[in-house]
Structure 1
């Protein structure tokens, strides 16, 4: 059975690009643009890994991440945060994510991080 990735980003281009990369790499993927769909999809889809953009509409992906990490039902799910922040600024991001990566046209590093987190 393929591992499941849930990806939340308010940018449809990123959802399409990364979603296609994840699918091509053999993962089952659900992509959503709005935070309001997250809870019900986490419950029904049961992802093995969640990817969140740090800036999601009017919300903050760090807060979403921290809420997921304190809930007993979701604390075990690895979370990767994506950001357009510079690498220097990423180090200042405080949240309980398992990884924080800069958005990049090359998804190789992201796919490697996904594999490493799912293989733990």
Structure 2
């Protein structure tokens, strides 16, 4: 069964790149540009991993990360925080499983995704 990845980012160009990366690597991908109805989408899609932008419009992705990590149904879903600025995981003010900086190396992203999905 294909692993499911939920990508949440307001960068439409990046959301066009994610399918090229993940569909070629046998993942089922769903992309969002905002977090409205996030709980319903997670219930329906049941992602195995979430790629989460640090800023989604005016929404702080770190707040979304903390929200997801504080709920029983989503606490075990690995979250990769995607940031346009350099940020250390210890200074993120949230508890992502990994942080990757834009622009990122595609091979590095795939490696991190695969490592988190194996845990």
Query: Is the shorter-chain TM-score for this pair beyond 0.5, marking a shared fold?
Result: yes
Q: Which whole-Å CA distance do the structure 1 matches of 2:60 and 2:93 have between them?
A: 12
Distance in 1 separating the partners of 2:37 and 2:14: 18
Tell me what 2:117 maps to: 118
Q: How does 1:3-42 map to 2 (within 5 A)?
A: 3-42=3-42
Q: Compute the TM-score of the two structures, normalised by the length of structure 1.
A: 0.93
Cα distance between partner residues in 2 of 1:80 and 1:56: 14
CA RMSD of aligned residues (A): 1.1
1:85 to partner: Cα distance: 0.3
- Where do 5+ consecutive residues of structure 1 fail to align? none
Q: Given the two structures, how large is their TM-score scaled by the length of structure 2?
A: 0.93
CA distance in 2, matches of 1:98, 1:35: 19
Aligned residues: 117
Task: Please show how residues 39-58 of structure 1 align to structure 2 within 5 Å.
Answer: 39-58=39-58
Deviation >6 Å, runs of 4+: none
